[in-house]
Amino acid sequence: MDNRRLILVLMFGLSLFMLWDAWQKFTHPQPVAAEAATATANSAGNPAAAAAGAASAVATPAAGAATGAVPVAANAASNLPFVTVKTDLYIAQISARGGDLVRLELVTHHATEDNKKNFVLFDNGEKHVYLAQSGLTGEGNTNHNTTYTLPAAPAELKEGANEVVLRLEAPLANGLKVSKTYTFHRGSYLIDVDQEIVNKGTTPVAPYVYFRTVRDGKAPEGESGGLGASTYTGPAVFTEEAKFQKAAFEDVTKGKAKFAAKADNGWVAMIQHYFVSAWLLSGKGEREFLIGDLGNGLYAAGLRLPVAAIAPGASARVAVQLYAGPQEQDKLSKIAPGFELVVDYGWLTVIAAPLFWVLELIQKFTGNWGWSIIGLTVLIKAVFFPLSAASYKSMAKMKLMAPKLQKLKETFGDDKARLNQEMMDLYKREKINPLGGCLPILVQIPVFIALYWVLGGVVEMRGAAWLGWITDLSAKDPYYVLPLIMGATMFLQTKLNPAPADPIQAKVMLAMPIVFTGMFFMFPSGLVLYWTVNNLLSIAQQWQINRLIEGGGDKKTV
CATH number, domain containing residue 135: 2.70.98.90
Residue-level length of the chain: 558
Exposure on the CB side of residue 261, measured as CA atoms within 13 A: 8
Dist CA 526 CA 458 (whole Å): 11
Asked, for residue 201, whether it belongs to a domain, the answer is yes
Asked, for residue 526, whether it belongs to a domain, the answer is yes
Dist CA 346 CA 242 (whole Å): 19
What is the model's pLDDT at position 344? 81
Handedness of CA 509, 510, 511, 514 (dihedral sign): positive
Backbone angles phi, psi at 408, to 5 degrees: -60, -40
- Starting at the edge strand that comes first in sequence, how are the strands of the sheet with 243-246 ordered? 163-169, 176-185, 190-199, 315-326, 275-280, 267-272, 234-239, 243-246
Residues 378 and 479 in one domain: yes
Spatial contact of 247 and 258, defined as CB atoms under 8 Å apart: yes
Asked, for residue 96, whether it belongs to a domain, the answer is yes
State how many domains the chain has: 2
Alpha helices in 173-328 (DSSP H): 249-254
Residues 18 and 35 in one domain: no
Asked, for residue 120, whether it belongs to a domain, the answer is yes
Residues 382 and 473 in one domain: yes
Residues 305 and 435 in one domain: no
Asked, for residue 365, whether it belongs to a domain, the answer is yes
Dist CA 447 CA 80 (whole Å): 52
Overall pTM > 0.85: no
What contacts 24+ positions apart, CB below 8 Å, involve 37-46? Answer: 39/125, 39/296, 40/125, 43/77, 43/125, 46/79
305-328 pLDDT tens trace: 999 999 999 999 999 999 999 999
What is the model's pLDDT at position 2? 43
Exposure on the CB side of residue 25, measured as CA atoms within 13 A: 24
Residues 527 and 392 in one domain: yes
What is the model's pLDDT at position 453? 82
Dist CA 396 CA 550 (whole Å): 8
Residues 387 and 529 in one domain: yes
Q: DSSP E strands: which ranges in 327-422? A: none
Residues 153 and 188 in one domain: yes
Residues 318 and 378 in one domain: no
Q: DSSP E strands: which ranges in 334-454? A: none
What is the model's pLDDT at position 319? 95
Residues 71 and 191 in one domain: yes
Residues 135 and 163 in one domain: yes
Exposure on the CB side of residue 367, measured as CA atoms within 13 A: 0
227-241 pLDDT tens trace: 333 578 999 999 999
Spatial contact of 281 and 304, defined as CB atoms under 8 Å apart: no
Quick count: other Cβ atoms within 10 Å of Cβ 415?
11
Residues 520 and 449 in one domain: yes
Asked, for residue 255, whether it belongs to a domain, the answer is no
Asked, for residue 348, whether it belongs to a domain, the answer is no
What does DSSP assign to residue 266? -
Quick count: other Cβ atoms within 10 Å of Cβ 117?
11
What is the model's pLDDT at position 5? 44
Q: Identify the domain boundary among 327, 347, 374.
A: 327
Give 10-residue mean pLDDT values along the chain (558 residues).
Answer: 43 52 45 36 39 45 40 41 96 96 96 90 93 95 95 92 96 96 98 97 95 94 50 93 95 94 96 96 93 95 96 96 95 93 84 92 95 94 79 68 75 77 77 61 75 84 91 90 93 75 69 85 88 90 75 49
CA 352 and chain centroid, separation: 13
Asked, for residue 275, whether it belongs to a domain, the answer is no
Residues 375 and 322 in one domain: no
What is the model's pLDDT at position 341? 93
Residue 496 lies in domain? 3-23+357-557
Backbone angles phi, psi at 499, to 5 degrees: -70, 130
